[in-house]
Structure 1
């Protein structure tokens, strides 16, 4: 309605319609780029993994993963780049190995390992819409090699390749002692910090840090900007909760994963506030009283 219309266009409806359509198209391109379809401009893309409709073996139970953090650029029919293909594979592997082994009837050992060949038989698609069955063992190796958070471990036993997620499990088949290394003294972890958000702080101070659906509460051994910290804390947190490791070890078991995430079951899945050493804002690092 705000587009300026020349008087000549008012005498010719066809010309006016053409002018309007061209103007709207140009406006759309300036906002979304030439490749963005106009009828999708208001609909955000959400990646998901799902069971392929063919070859219904019972293992390919459909599941929806509409999680903004799981988005990937690879879309549709394998048309994404090789990097997108491997990234999408890694994201699906993380989801399966941490959370879905029981649902998919995967034979997972107590230390979290499953056979790669069993994984590649699953009737699922990655977030790039590529069937998992179309991937190779070398693709799995590449996904592990390129994962900058080192979320996976690979081993070979009896000429069979096995893979596991190093931490973050919700499946109860995994035994903590088989998966993780115990921390026996505070000197092993000079810094033990949990990153969170202001909106969560009141609830945390009332009832402690909870493991939620996971097996453990997660801590990092450094700050978000520390180069050696590869996993265990999100980069966009705005509150840091430091654990008093010496005090915690008097009553809790602490562990460290292969990718250096510090984990504890706390007491029945909760780390009470009395074990907090200090709380700071991030990145300003101003003390927050509690």
Structure 2
């Protein structure tokens, strides 16, 4: 958990073991939007996809020590701990999480979802009943013929990502790219009834591995619409 403390200037709180909180300095620096976006993309790339290949020690549940990240050639001399804390704090999609390691009290960071590397994400909560009326996957016209035939697939990731609403909905924090062209609406009730497992991440993204082949089949599509016009193109 990360909390900003307006009453304590340039301070943030990070959750420690046993629900204790530790205050960290967050020194103000010149960090424009472009630099912040670059750091966010770099964190996503390493935490989701490249940690092992880059020689970083990643825990079974996806955490890497911030101090180790800062020694990586992509970070060294370019970013500091305050930069990383600020990106976690400011990221509108809540892609990352900071924690104090329960064994050694080292500050660590992880990506909330989107991994292509194998991790045991214990923070995911399984969805056991159809409690969301709307579940949407955003995609593009060029992928629609294959999706229409075979269904949604997690591709290089481990799980298919779904949003609890469309772009512009106040309850949508993450799960949809802003430039998607099609909305694929999912019948959660039907999929759950057939034994498809769904989970929810800490930042509100709904995830599923689909069937045994990694597909969420078209029979679970309640409808597909064009984002710009609202035209229904399926079924």
Which TM-score applies when normalising by structure 2?
0.80
CA drift at 1:105: 1.9
Q: Is 1:198 aligned to residue 141 of structure 2?
A: yes
> Quick check: 2:126–2:197 contact (8 Å CA) kept in 1?
yes
Instruction: Provide the residue aligned with 1:246 in structure 2.
Output: 189
- Taking the aligned partners of 1:231 and 1:289, their CA distance within structure 2 comes to 24
Runs of at least 5 residues in structure 1 that lack an aligned partner in the other structure: 1-80, 125-130
CA drift at 1:269: 1.4
- Taking the aligned partners of 1:90 and 1:272, their CA distance within structure 2 comes to 32
Instruction: Provide the residue aligned with 2:98 in structure 1.
Output: 154
CA drift at 1:122: 0.8
> Quick check: 1:183–1:256 contact (8 Å CA) kept in 2?
yes
Q: Is 1:119 aligned to residue 119 of structure 2?
A: no
CA drift at 1:133: 4.2
- Taking the aligned partners of 2:201 and 2:76, their CA distance within structure 1 comes to 27
CA drift at 1:97: 0.3
> Quick check: 1:86–1:143 contact (8 Å CA) kept in 2?
yes
Instruction: Provide the residue aligned with 1:278 in structure 2.
Output: 223
Higher relative contact order (CA 8 A, sep 6+): 2
> Quick check: 2:164–2:171 contact (8 Å CA) kept in 1?
no
> Where do 1:182-197 residues align within 5 Å?
182-187=126-131, 189-197=132-140
User: Which has the larger Rg?
Assistant: 1
- Taking the aligned partners of 1:144 and 1:248, their CA distance within structure 2 comes to 33
CA drift at 1:95: 0.8
Query: Secondary structure of 2:36's match?
Result: helix
Residues paired across the two proteins, number: 201
> Quick check: 1:112–1:179 contact (8 Å CA) kept in 2?
no
Instruction: Provide the residue aligned with 1:93 in structure 2.
Output: 43
> Quick check: 2:163–2:172 contact (8 Å CA) kept in 1?
yes
Query: Secondary structure of 1:143's match?
Result: helix
Q: CA RMSD in A?
A: 1.6
Distance change (3 Å), C-alpha of 1:86 and 1:287: closer
CA drift at 1:223: 0.6
- Taking the aligned partners of 1:202 and 1:85, their CA distance within structure 2 comes to 37
Greater helix proportion: 1
- Which sits farther off after the overlay, 278-287 or 135-144? 278-287
Greater strand proportion: 2
